[in-house]
């Protein structure tokens, strides 16, 4: 059975509305999109969409590169915050990620940054992303791994490793809430979401050159992570806590029911 929606997430985690907290993450996204040639400093594209945008901080950063940017979320409080800071061509919209209110092949860029674990059905989310992207369009996908030792939302060791019934008890015991809603996937489960896309993995490139990719929010200067050779990270890839993937629509995608997503 499909799980219920996780509504009003900004009340559970108000830090996601903090523009100072989000600024380095926005800088990293822009650096990667520019390095990949997806975002140009001289040419504008028609439409970008930020799925699970919260207050639209990522969407607002894309405003300079697109004629229009839609910031979709179901969190009314976060959308109100976004409208208070929005710019002319960035539009916060109440919308369901499981049924995006857009025509087929109408979007140049989708941003889906640390959202997949918060929706009722992550496969359906990516069916919708594939549907609305034009052929050759790109999805910027930031994805946390279920195998991270310290769960990224509640900072509890091994929380995401546990079966749901035990994770719920752990949450209550730790005083972090009554239920563990999030559905993190293993690296292999994350890759399953990307079927029907060409996948360019920027994770190791960012680890290798955090200055180039504005990734000091992930890798502090002089930290042990920075000193580990890239070849080691390739070997231990499945142990990394999160991944940064650029997904390009490059062919058909089939849903779990066997239907083709255009």
Residue with the bigger pLDDT between 130 and 228: it is 130
Per-residue confidence band for 260, with pLDDT thresholds at 50, 70 and 90? low
- Asked if residue 196 is part of any domain, the answer here is yes
154-204 residue pLDDT tens: 999 999 999 999 999 999 999 999 999 999 999 999 999 999 999 999 999
CATH code for the domain in which residue 38 is found = 3.40.50.150
- Asked if residue 136 is part of any domain, the answer here is yes
130-165 residue pLDDT tens: 999 999 999 999 999 999 999 999 999 999 999 999
pLDDT of residue 177: 93
**Residue 43 falls in which region: left (phi positive, over 0), alpha (psi -120 to 50) or beta:** beta
**Domain residue limits at 125:** 9-148+184-261
- Asked if residue 61 is part of any domain, the answer here is yes
Q: Return d(Cα 200, Cα 59) in angstroms, integer.
A: 22
pLDDT of residue 258: 60
- Asked if residue 172 is part of any domain, the answer here is no
The number of domains in the chain is 1
100-113 residue pLDDT tens: 999 999 999 999 99
H helices present in the chain, as ranges: 9-12, 19-35, 57-62, 76-85, 122-132, 164-174, 187-193, 203-208, 224-227, 230-235
- Asked if residue 162 is part of any domain, the answer here is no
Residue 171: CB atoms within 10 A of its CB come to 20
19-47 residue pLDDT tens: 999 999 999 999 999 999 999 988 999 99
- Asked if residue 242 is part of any domain, the answer here is yes
- Asked if residue 77 is part of any domain, the answer here is yes
- Asked if residue 165 is part of any domain, the answer here is no
């Amino acid at each position: 059975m499909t799980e219920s929606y996780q509504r009003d997430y900004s009340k559970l985690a108000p830090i996601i509305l903090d523009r100072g907290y989000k600024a380095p993450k926005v800088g990293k996204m822009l650096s990667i999109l520019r390095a990949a040639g997806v975002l140009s400093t001289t040419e504008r594209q028609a439409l970008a969409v930020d799925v699970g945008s919260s207050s639209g901080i990522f969407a607002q950063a894309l405003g300079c590169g697109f004629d229009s940017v839609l910031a979709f979320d179901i969190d009314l409080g976060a959308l109100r915050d976004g409208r208070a800071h929005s710019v002319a061509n960035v539009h916060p919209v109440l919308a369901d990620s499981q049924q995006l209110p857009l025509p087929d092949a109408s979007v140049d860029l989708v941003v889906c940054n640390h959202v997949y674990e918060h929706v009722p059905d992550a496969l359906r989310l990516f069916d919708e992303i594939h549907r609305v992207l034009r052929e050759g369009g790109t999805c910027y996908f930031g994805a946390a791994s279920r195998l991270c030792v310290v769960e990224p939302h509640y900072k509890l060791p091994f929380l995401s490793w546990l079966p749901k019934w035990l994770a719920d008890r752990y949450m209550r015991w730790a005083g972090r809430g009554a239920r563990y809603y999030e559905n993190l996937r293993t690296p292999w489960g994350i890759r399953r979401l990307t079927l029907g896309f060409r996948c360019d993995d920027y994770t190791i490139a960012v680890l290798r050159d955090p200055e180039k990719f504005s990734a000091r929010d992930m890798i502090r200067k002089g930290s042990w992570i920075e000193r580990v050779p890239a070849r080691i990270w390739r070997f231990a890839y499945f142990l990394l806590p999160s991944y940064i993937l650029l997904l390009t629509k490059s062919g058909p995608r089939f849903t779990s029911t066997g239907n083709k997503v255009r």
